[in-house]
Chain A
Amino acid sequence: GENVEQHPSTLSVQEGDSAVIKCTYSDSASNYFPWYKQELGKRPQLIIDIRSNVGEKKDQRIAVTLNKTAKHFSLHITETQPEDSAVYFCAARKSSGDKLTFGTGTRLAVRP
């Protein structure tokens, strides 16, 4: 089955700096890669996703890049703000009806 690895497990940045979280996946059949933000005690919320037919997608301060050959994808957050502090999960999926396989999460702390 699919295996998703995520690094780093914790990340602390100064407000205004950029943050990068990286994930690798094992199953070349995976074609959909969402990123979820989960605040303490809250539900995971989708912040951005990318499909395997594109290499990069951007939405304001967040962007995701995908390298299908290397089977890795990354989340980039620019101009970080304290409200970006949360746990971020990457995930991979093979088809729109299939389960998500999640990474182990990155706890991001943005220092004011």
Chain B
Amino acid sequence: GAGVSQSPRYKVAKRGQDVALRCDPISGHVSLFWYQQALGQGPEFLTYFQNEAQLDKSGLPSDRFFAERPEGSVSTLKIQRTQQEDSAVYLCASSLDPGSLGEQFFGPGTRLTVL
């Protein structure tokens, strides 16, 4: 069956540009997470949605980062005025619902390179 998909898979941006990263979770999955994975590091939490509600955005590194999930399915992570330190792989994960076994299924990630 279809897993979590993300687009684009690769994005190169010039410093100062805005970017938008898309996540399509597994159909019916209530919970959606965004993580940032720097080279050689483990994923680090950015933000969490339950349906369309953003319940936790404590991991967003600055107000340049914004995420939304307006209809409770597809989510977009937007980064404004990109900086070189934003270069990383951005991973999206979804899980069925908060009361389930809770396994998080990851997408393939978007590799963002800021020049």
| Interface, chain A (partner B; CB < 8 A) | 6, 32, 34, 36, 42-46, 49, 89, 91, 93, 95-105
Contact = CB atoms under 8 A, between A and B. Distances in A.
B108 A43 contact: yes
B100 A45 contact: no
Contacts, number: 58
B31 interface: yes
Among B35, B45, B91, B102, max chain A CB count under 10 A is at B102
Given A43-B107, A43-B108, A99-B59, A93 B45 contact: no
B89 to A, nearest CB: 9
B51 to A, nearest CB: 11
A96 B41 CA distance: 23
Contacts of B102: 32, 93, 96-97
Contacts of B55: 97
A49 B101 CA distance: 10
A97 B45 CA distance: 13
A102 B4 CA distance: 20
Contacts of B104: 34, 46, 100
B103 A99 contact: no
Interface in B57-115: 59, 91, 95, 98-109
Contacts of B105: 46
12 contacts: A32-B102, A34-B103, A43-B91, A89-B42, A91-B42, A93-B102, A95-B98, A97-B55, A99-B56, A104-B41, A105-B40, A105-B42
